[in-house]
Amino acid sequence: MRGRPRAARSRSAGSLAPDAVGSTVFDVSVSTTIRRMSGRDPAEDGRAASDLEVFYDLVFVVAFSIAGAQLAEYLAEGHYRAAVIGYAIATFAAVWAWINFAWFSSAFDTDDWVYRLLTLVQMVGVAIIAIGLPPVFASIDANRHVDLAVVVIGYIVMRAGMIVQWLRAAVQAPEYRATCLTYALMTTVAQVGWVAVAAVSMTLGPTLIAIAVCMVAELLGPAIAETRFRATPWHPGHIVERYSTLVVITLGEGVVGTVAVLQAVIGRTGWSTETAVLGLTAMGVTFAMWWLYFQLEVGRPLAARPGMAFVFGYGSMPIVIGCAAVGAGLHVVAMWLEGEAEISQAAVYGAVAVPLAVFCLGTIVMFYLLAGADRLLIPLFLAASVPLIAGGVLAVSGVGLLACVVVGCLTPVLPLLLVEASARRR
């Protein structure tokens, strides 16, 4: 219900609450009531992510985990084309599915039983997408038509729930009807394109071009709906929190993946200085990435600059994708230390350095675009670039890999120190 405080709406179905005389009553309003999807209040006080949204996010841990494992495997084998292209397709599919739900829920979340069940349908679709990711990498590696069959089936399931949500909003929120119908139409058109790409047998080159066209069509849908018609009533603070949660989840997945690899190594050979250093480095760089992202408060200016919604929404995609790939890069380092990677030391370093650069430099650019912090842009860029370049120079010079990785992993640390020093001076 528009404008209703979140605290009154977010209580889980079946929660216990005291009544006026101190006894306990059973609140079943969420599960038995169908609320009108009239649009949320974008200025609602205390708006926070619901339990369902957090649960929905956890489904993406599986998708990022599978994509990261595939990326590490193909990088370690030196199959760079399959690794990079496969990872780009896989993570775009996952992140885009998340974005669709996040912005819709920010604007129209009713948290009733119909909304919850349709969200479950979308979660099932995301799980199917995750299952279909390995064939994407394998088909690219084999230089044949990209096998998107299972991924597209997952998208069909996910979008069945999403389109019904948009149509429900179109019926129950007349002032946003044109916008919601445009979303539903553009989503359907994009899905038809993906079905065609999956069904029509083409060589790898034309397939990748067709995939790129579908990606552009996906990105154009919200832009057309939000700019040509009345913008949906998304909540700036809520959106920022949702993206922050996604970043934390991808950081956590990287830690889990690295620890799992180190556990396997220790199980075979026992503890060593190398495994200890790599484990500490993995935890340290992950912590520094988290600190940098939240210290810059990347999305905080969004409330004052809602016109930057697309810059923030779309610009955060490479940040999240890079964030998830850092864990895969550390996985490659562990494989190289075990003699299981077939690539050079410099290439192994690049597996960590490139996604780390994407995350850190992307975060700095987003901070600049939203906050307009001209004075800090170049110093922050330099602070992040120096460790990356230094680690690369050491790697090609034959210095031990772990030393190179430790130096490169200072990439988020130096900008963080600069931000802290600047804050103290002010």
Residue recorded with tokens 């209580």: 11
Q: How many CA atoms lie within 13 A of 285 on its CB side?
A: 32
Task: Tell whether the torsion through CA atoms of 144, 85, 207 and 131 is positive or negative.
Answer: positive
DSSP 285-319: HHHHHHHHHHHTTTTGGGGT-GGGHHHHHHHHHHH
**Tell me, what's the pLDDT at 31?**
53
Phi then psi dihedrals of residue 133, to 5 deg: -70, -45
> Model's pTM, two decimal places?
0.89
Dist CA 157 CA 124 (whole Å): 7
Residue 242 · residue 98 · CB < 8 Å: no
Q: In the structure encoding, which two tokens stand for residue 277, read together?
A: 């250093």
Question: Looking at the chain, how many residues does it have?
Answer: 426
**Tell me, what's the pLDDT at 2?**
37
Residue 17 · residue 25 · CB < 8 Å: yes
Q: Is 298 exposed, middle or buried (0-12, 13-18, 19+ CB in 10 A)?
A: buried
Helix, strand, or coil (residue 193): helix
What type of residue is 352?
A: V
Q: In the structure encoding, which two tokens stand for residue 296, read together?
A: 């810059």
Q: How many CA atoms lie within 13 A of 362 on its CB side?
A: 21
- Cβ partners under 8 Å of residue 166, min gap 6: 104, 180, 181, 183, 184, 187
Helix, strand, or coil (residue 27): strand
**Tell me, what's the pLDDT at 14?**
43
DSSP 350-384: HHHHHHHHHHHHHHHHHHHHHH--HHHHHHHHHHH
φ/ψ region of 48 (left if φ > 0, alpha if ψ in -120 to 50, else beta) reads: beta
**Tell me, what's the pLDDT at 338?**
83
Provide long-range contacts, Cβ within 8 A and 24+ apart, for 201-210: 201/145, 202/145, 203/144, 203/145, 204/140, 204/143, 204/144, 204/145, 204/146, 207/145, 207/146, 208/85, 208/146
DSSP 219-269: HHHHHHHHHHSPPP---HHHHHHHHHHHHHHHHHHHHHHHHHHHHHHHHHH
Q: In the structure encoding, which two tokens stand for residue 97, read together?
A: 């599915």
Residue 180 · residue 167 · CB < 8 Å: yes
pLDDT along the chain (426 residues), means of 10: 38 44 49 82 88 92 92 96 96 94 95 94 95 96 93 94 96 96 95 94 92 95 95 94 94 80 78 87 93 87 88 95 94 88 94 97 92 82 95 94 96 92 74
Distances (CA, A) of 256 to 176, 233, 240, 271: 42, 36, 25, 18
Q: Which among 8, 3, 56 has a CA at the least distance from the CA of 246?
A: 56
Count of CB atoms within 10 A of residue 310's CB? Answer: 13
Q: What is the DSSP letter of 13?
A: T
Task: Tell whether the torsion through CA atoms of 227, 293, 298 and 303 is positive or negative.
Answer: positive
**Tell me, what's the pLDDT at 25?**
52
Q: In the structure encoding, which two tokens stand for residue 185, read together?
A: 């139409």
Residue 185 · residue 178 · CB < 8 Å: no
**Tell me, what's the pLDDT at 424?**
75
